[in-house]
């Protein structure tokens, strides 16, 4: 591995850690605002991967955030023969490095949308970025959808003029439950194998996506968290979360990949909601 | 299709329907016993399959049975090229017929075990039976486990001396969550491609499994349904149900097969619990 790539890995891993700290702190501020005494705090739990590397889970179960997980990981090793053909650049040399941040928020209030954000850098004989952010309200509120997409569009526009439309369409296609014939939520952006040839530009975009999410999502939480809700809305939320479970266990590639490659089960399944219902 | 096979299909389909009626009636009696007025009743909903045949879902949401589904189906058509190689006898001729009954019970009380029972007859150029029954308590109670296995053993012993040990081991192997390293419940029996060459004998066994379940499960429900339970037991039940969801969406072959072949989504996912939790 070249000195350049090594330095890139360190910068990316440092960024994912810093972003985790920033987001966790801002979510804790929200819990503090809403709670008189002893507000909830993130509990961190490190894990190690047998094949190399590991990560840290951060989980908070609060009043506003019924369950929110923010995981970072930095892992390395060799892809099994099964995966060598599927992963770009791994057919030449099976060694890989992967670093990233993954966040799933399941708010208590059915008026506050659930959210997911993930960005990652992968290195084989090639180097690329992937990730995205998407919003899953119980009932879509146009203001929230517009604000969320607007923030992500600004991040994309800083990269190039075509990327928002492309990454938005990719998100709509990916976060879809074929057996239900319905979208998981109101979308956002999704991208993979981002490698323009200019690593600095791609890394700057990765940071922009993280910062856009870190700014807009707490804004939406604050906008809705004091609104009263009904039992019917809560029940609708639990059913919507059931759909979230179906997507993650039936379709999500990251979940399947993680479980198939012996990843940390607790970290992978931290995305599942605290409570869900099926009628 | 020979006149003999046609007659066998009719007898099997009639049996699955009769067993459904018997089980639903006995579960409704339990609801009546526990409820002063307006006890819950099964709601039946027929569905049709585009490729041929269909089924009837029966769903009850009661005081004792928080959610219980009893589905029967009788479907026919042609296997897609993808499935012709996987299904015995379908490589010669892709036409098939399948009839069966499938039951999943999620009781309200964490003291009452959840249960699953399914038996089916499949016809391609070959004819066979498959099915089983298994119990999923929150906390295994030795008396219940012993009684449940005892009832199934009696059914198996009427078939032959070796089948209980074989079908019990098959159940333990099948209802296992590899990513959690834990069993779904306390087992029961599981069998497939049962075709001894004596259809009458195999059909009699299928009926015995259904009758054994129809007798022992209401017995266990009555044994436990008046026991008080704690909030901690209810929470443990919701988490246990989360594991049930993980098994059905990640591993269950029937669920995957049904969704992949365009089965009735509502009927397939009726197995999911009314509420589940992930910590």
Indicate whether B162 pLDDT > 90: yes
For residue A207, tell me if it sits in a domain.
Answer: yes
Confidence band for A1, pLDDT divided at 50, 70 and 90: low
Torsion angle, alpha carbons of A213, A218, A224, A229, to 10: 90
CATH assignment of the domain containing A60: 3.40.1500.10
Active site residues of B: 116
SS3 per-residue string spanning chain B: CCHHHHHHHHHHHHHHHHHHHHHHHHHHHHHHHHCCCCCCCCEEEEEECCCCEEEEEEEECCCCCCEEEEEEEEEEEECCHHHHCCCCCCCCCCEEEEEEEEEEEECCCCCCCEEEEEEEEEECCCEEEEEEEEEECCCCCHHHHHHHHHHHHHHHHCCCCCHHHHHHHHHHHHCEECCCCEECCCEEEEEEEECCCCHHHHHHHHHHHHHHHHHHHHHHHHHHCCCCCCHHHHHHHHHHHHHHHHHHHHHCHHHHHHHHCCCCHHHHHHHCCCEEECC
Tell me if A122 is assigned to some domain: yes
A276/B274 CB distance under 8 A: no
User: Do the domain assignments include residue B99?
Assistant: yes
Looking at residue A116, its pLDDT comes to: 98
Domain containing A60: what range? 3-271
Kindly state whether B236 is in contact with chain A, defined as any CB-CB distance less than 8 angstroms.
no
The strand pairing partners of B78, in sequence order, are: B95
Residue A224 lies in a domain: yes
Which ipTM value was assigned to this complex?
0.90
Mean residue pLDDT across chain A = 95
Residue A115: pLDDT above 70?
A: yes
Which residues of B fall within a CB distance of 8 Å from A277?
A: 274-276
pTM above 0.90, yes or no: yes
Give the nearest partner residue to A276 out of B265, B269, B276, using CB atoms.
Answer: B276
Of A238, A246, A272, the CB nearest to B278: A272
Quick check: is A150 in a domain? yes
Any domain includes B279: no
Cβ contacts (< 8 Å) between B238 and chain A: which residues?
Answer: 275
User: Does the pLDDT of residue B80 top 90, yes or no?
Assistant: no
Interface of B with A in 193-212 (CB under 8 A): none
Residues of chain A positioned with their CB less than 8 A from the CB of B252: none
Query: Smallest CA–CA separation between A271 and chain B, in Å?
Result: 9
Q: What percent of chain B has pLDDT over 70?
A: 100
Interface contact A276-B279, CB threshold 8 A: no
Domain count, chain A: 1
Q: Stretch B187-208: mean pLDDT, rounded?
A: 98
Residue A60 lies in a domain: yes
> Which of chain A's residues have a Cβ under 8 Å away from the Cβ of B177?
none
Mutate to test the interface with A, among B106, B179, B261 (most CBs of A within 10 A): B179
Q: Does B91 map to a domain?
A: yes
| Residue A109 pLDDT | 98
CB contact under 8 A, B276 and A274: no
The share of chain A scoring above pLDDT 70, in percent, equals 100
């Amino acid at each position: 591995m070249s000195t350049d790539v090594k330095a890139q890995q360190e910068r990316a891993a440092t960024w994912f850690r810093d972003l985790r700290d920033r987001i966790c702190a801002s979510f804790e501020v929200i819990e503090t605002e809403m709670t008189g005494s002893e507000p909830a705090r993130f509990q961190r739990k490190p894990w190690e991967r047998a094949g190399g590397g590991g990560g840290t889970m951060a989980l908070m179960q609060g009043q506003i955030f019924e369950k929110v997980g923010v995981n970072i990981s930095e892992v390395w090793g060799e892809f099994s023969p099964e995966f060598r053909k599927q992963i770009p650049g791994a057919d030449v040399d099976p060694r890989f490095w992967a670093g990233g941040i993954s966040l799933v928020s399941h708010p208590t209030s059915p008026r506050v949308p659930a959210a997911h954000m993930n960005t990652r850098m992968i290195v084989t004989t090639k180097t690329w970025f992937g990730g995205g952010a998407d919003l899953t309200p119980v009932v879509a509120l146009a203001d929230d959808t517009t604000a969320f997409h607007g923030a992500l569009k600004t991040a994309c526009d800083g990269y190039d003029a075509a990327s928002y439309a492309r990454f938005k369409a990719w998100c709509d296609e990916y976060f879809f439950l074929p057996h239900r014939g319905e979208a998981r939520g109101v979308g956002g952006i999704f991208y993979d194998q981002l490698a323009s040839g200019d690593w600095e530009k791609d890394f700057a975009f990765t940071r922009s996506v993280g910062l856009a999410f870190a700014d807009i999502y707490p804004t939406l939480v604050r906008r809705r968290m004091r609104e009263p809700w009904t039992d019917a809305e809560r029940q609708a939320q639990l059913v919507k979360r059931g759909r979230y479970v179906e997507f993650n266990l039936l379709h999500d590639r990251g979940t399947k990949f993680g479980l198939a490659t012996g990843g940390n089960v607790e970290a992978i399944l931290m995305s599942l909601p605290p409570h869900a219902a099926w009628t």
